[in-house]
Structure 1
């Protein structure tokens, strides 16, 4: 699990709250950033623009302040970059020099077995979950990712803990143990 401290003044979920849908304001940027995450077609994934993110989030019933969009996008992109780096730690255990992200699926509200077990022992539930599907030189591998609010500090008012790991399978358990053993 890694921490991703970010310089945004508020809780990671503050920018999203349940309300209605709106049209994207004209002042939102349509510019998309290129990620470092390679896709199955060989190009790198493009992050959503402010306008795309706003449209998608409001269509799901979230209310966003358009003035916060540049920071929301910065947080979104930084968290995804850190998630990919955490996945690459597992991928380095294998002989594939060029793993690629096939797709990812947001599964908010669905708990992973680890998150469910942790909650039984008093751990806070994650605020989001994703499944990332990776092409490991022809082998399909699924990673599960839990996102938790982290400990805020004066220098990092937002901190997100990312728990990215291979799915709960024999091969996934083997990778988890191998990475743990290597420290």
Structure 2
């Protein structure tokens, strides 16, 4: 567990390569199937030739849950897009910590059981590695969202952005990812849409997840991935944010 945690705590952030999509490593092959903040519509599934693992002993799966650094919002938001298009969290593995109000990640056992409910054939032994990696990926995504939000909450009485809801859309490639793919870049292995509460105002974000390029030294065992996080262009606020960052304002 300690080895997996070390790997997850120091992910690299390399750019997507302009080359054929590399063969997924063991951790990236799980990402589109993850039961928390993963794609409910994902068509990924285990190979039909895999040995069923329904009889695996589950006693080794941890039941403790990690509290994220991501504040959870449940307040009604002033929508900037149509209500029907808003990503909505319906995963029963989520929750909020009573003390901090932050989102709570699922335990190894919850991960395993959720994957089985969704028709996958997970290995219990993999959960020890997959869960810390999954948590680290989401922490990285939140850090990038906070960087986008910082200029707009600076100097206000607001206590910062909060995550309101999310959805996974791995089968719906974003326009930017589609264009990049046509230009020869590798396709993202997953897409998430997150709704952020900025002092009661709704801001929607797209997150494209890419497998990064490994360095000649193999990144010293560190995971390599790239997250393209940006506001959606479905509102004037999103357009303004993208334009201001592009011009350095």
Give TM class, smaller chain.
0.7 to 0.9
Contact 1:4 1:162 in 2 (8 A): no
- 2:212–2:225 contact (8 Å) kept in structure 1: yes
Q: Once the 2 structures are TM-superposed, how far is the Cα of residue 123 of structure 1 from its aligned partner?
A: 1.3
Kindly indicate whether residue 98 of structure 2 is the aligned counterpart of residue 45 of structure 1.
no
Aligned-pair CA distance for 1:164: 0.9
Runs of 4+ in 1 over 4 A off after TM superposition: none
TM-score of the pair, normalised by structure 2: 0.65
Q: Does 1:80 align with 2:138?
A: yes
Distance 1:22 1:164, change over 3 A: farther
Segments of structure 1 that go 5 or more residues without pairing to the other structure are none
Instruction: Give unmatched runs, 5+ long, in structure 2.
Output: 1-9, 14-24, 34-43, 47-51, 75-99
Moved more, 50-59 or 22-31: 22-31
C-alpha distance in structure 1 between counterparts of 2:172 and 2:203, whole Å: 19
Change (3 A) 1:65 1:137: same
Larger Rg: 2
TM-score by length of 1: 0.86
Per the alignment, residue 206 of structure 2 pairs with 144
Are residues 1:166 and 2:227 paired? Answer: no
Larger RCO: 1 or 2 (CA < 8 Å, sep 6+): 2
Higher strand share: 1
Q: Choose the corresponding residue for 1:109, options 171, 176, 179.
A: 171
- CA gap of 1:173–1:156, structure 2 versus 1, over 3 A, is farther
Instruction: Verify the 8 A CA contact 1:21 1:61 in the aligned structure 2.
Output: no
- How far apart, in 2, do the equivalents of 1:135 and 1:21 lie? 41
